[in-house]
Amino acid sequence: MSNKSQNILDMIRARQALETTPNVNPQGSPTTEDWKRFKETMIESVDGEPIKKGTGKTNKEFFKYLKEDIDDDECKSRTLRDFLKNLEDY
């Protein structure tokens, strides 16, 4: 595992330790709201832009959503687990 991946896992574990009650989806697969919550609590910035609390998006992502009505964060077939598996590729 690369140092970058290990650092990300350490950040996730540290933030999970701060949470008092876990957010669990009874259906088992993450929803768009789950992804939004994940981004707000676990990710500080994307391409240098900070993630805004309340939207779970950067300004660029939010304006794209408003302008084009496309939500890149909408969970369709890609799961959070798939995202985490691919972190080493970055």
**29-71, pLDDT tens digit by residue?**
677 788 788 888 888 888 889 988 888 888 888 888 888 887 7
Whether the model pTM is above 0.85: no
Pairwise CA distance, residues 90 & 71, whole Å: 22
Q: Where are the beta strands (DSSP E) in the chain?
A: 45-46, 49-50
Pairwise CA distance, residues 74 & 32, whole Å: 5
Pairwise CA distance, residues 17 & 52, whole Å: 22
Q: What are phi and psi of 46, to 5 degrees?
A: -130, 125
pLDDT at site 50: 92
